[in-house]
Structure 1
């Protein structure tokens, strides 16, 4: 996993990100679309050389229980980076345009990892803990099959963004018997702009998605929230947030990191990316900027020692 080069964000992109960030929480939908449009030309121009993509491999019987594998040339017992997309529990796909989120897995594959892009069922079809159960099923499939695609089932890192980060965290630390029974054998996990506390507060623009996934009984949300069970986590954890974040997600990230630190007596790795917003946290992979990716690779490598 070593040998990646430094990369910088173009000045014009930084300027535009700051402009978007200044109004991010006023209209996250419009700002999010603007962010995707900003990065799309950069991603289309980026190299995808040396990566073979196998699409829509089923890991379960439902149509959305599929995954893509981004396989680097010559992969043999390579580390495996598994990406879990967001979408406020009620929307989102592993492919939201012709570049995202394949850009994330391509970036990691070009640096020696087998990349896996997981899709899962959404609410209300699959309410809590459906997303995490699907992810657990995908992990079980990977443990059995990833070696035939050049991956090492003993070196798997889960990377979840937004609601995908919720599903990663719940799979690893929620005590519900159906989740605890899955107990995936992974090396580490990364939570990027994850929703780690369920809420339907007025400031939450995705409150309808939270309610669709967790139900109408708000009094049950505390017991369903990953932050309530952070102390149960056993794997190394990296928490990342954007400077311009969806309301309260940065606070929940800090809260989760603090709960884990108190349980372990040592703080987990936590970073806030300057100038970035909730969408650009994933859109920037393979665009030329590499700092977060390099930090994740270093963390992954350390967890596998």
Structure 2
């Protein structure tokens, strides 16, 4: 009887220790940063503006450098283009800020309310807001990078390759200096939706519609050029086959145009683990990201 009681207590004790460690880690990470949340990046009196989805949060170090502005990373969440929220990714904002980066975590409109072209426009609008206001938070408007996971990484890649998104907003040039793509989805939806070779593929006809011209127009694969911004790319060794295939082809396209980039496959990582690994500050992605954006310079 005593042994049984002890066996029941061990998992509970380990669980308590784990929760305590996670809490202390999060507290230690949060203290050096400050968060300003729910900032509207589109004029609230504009038709079509969503009071919840056109919002972003800014995370900045509490002790900013006295003389230099910090690099900026705009993070775009994933969620199959129909779910997700900036509120789930505060851990990324905190960890970036702790390491000398001003992080902007954004919301954007989702399917079925809108389709992917409108989502890309939202993300471009959020980047434009960043160029105009990030200096108020210690960020350098001339060093803005985009980052995302899954669908968000596909949108980040589009921002870095298709400057028309910013031209529509009246911006003379693309302000994105580079992109960090974490297990990107949507790099070539023209190919993906033309083939429909995987189970349940037709669900993506809701966010993308049924016009192949639209599929191509929001696929970063077709906008890579000799002037494409530098990139860091990561995919999981056990991620979805479609992400493995499109990431490899995107990598080859970048190489063909001599785009400065690095592509790594992380052994054993599944799709969700590719983003949850960012809970750990000293993760490989963060280490390489810091050098990529020039943190501390």
The equivalent of 1:189 in structure 2 is 179
> 1:233 and 1:164 mapped to 2: Cα distance?
22
- SS of the aligned residue for 1:298 comes to helix
- SS of the aligned residue for 1:109 comes to helix
The equivalent of 2:118 in structure 1 is 130
Q: Which moved more, 1:188-197 or 1:266-275?
A: 266-275
The equivalent of 1:148 in structure 2 is 136
Distance 1:216 1:150, change over 3 A: same
- Give the TM-score, by structure 1 length: 0.77
Does residue 111 (structure 1) correspond to residue 99 (structure 2)? The answer is: yes
| Shift >6 Å, 4+ stretches | 39-42
The equivalent of 1:52 in structure 2 is 34
Query: Is the CA contact 1:106–1:286 (under 8 Å) kept in the aligned structure 2?
Result: no
- Provide the aligned length of Structure 1 versus Structure 2: 259
Distance 1:292 1:66, change over 3 A: same
Does residue 91 (structure 1) correspond to residue 73 (structure 2)? The answer is: no
The equivalent of 2:239 in structure 1 is 245
> 1:263 and 1:153 mapped to 2: Cα distance?
27
> 1:124 and 1:109 mapped to 2: Cα distance?
33
The equivalent of 1:258 in structure 2 is 252
Distance 1:171 1:287, change over 3 A: closer
Post-superposition offset of 1:42? 6.4
Distance 1:80 1:220, change over 3 A: closer
Post-superposition offset of 1:207? 4.3
Instruction: Provide, for residues 119-145 of structure 1, a one-character-per-residue CA deviation record: whole Å limited to 9, x for no partner.
Output: 101122221311111111111111111
Post-superposition offset of 1:231? 2.3
Alignment RMSD: 2.5
- SS of the aligned residue for 2:184 comes to coil
The equivalent of 2:162 in structure 1 is 174
The equivalent of 2:3 in structure 1 is none
Query: Is the CA contact 2:231–2:260 (under 8 Å) kept in the aligned structure 1?
Result: no
Post-superposition offset of 1:221? 2.6
Post-superposition offset of 1:110? 0.7
The equivalent of 2:47 in structure 1 is none
Q: Which has the higher contact order (CA 8 A, sep 6+)?
A: 1
Post-superposition offset of 1:107? 1.1
Distance 1:42 1:191, change over 3 A: farther
Distance 1:218 1:82, change over 3 A: same
- Give the TM-score, by structure 2 length: 0.79
Distance 1:178 1:145, change over 3 A: closer
Distance 1:41 1:193, change over 3 A: farther
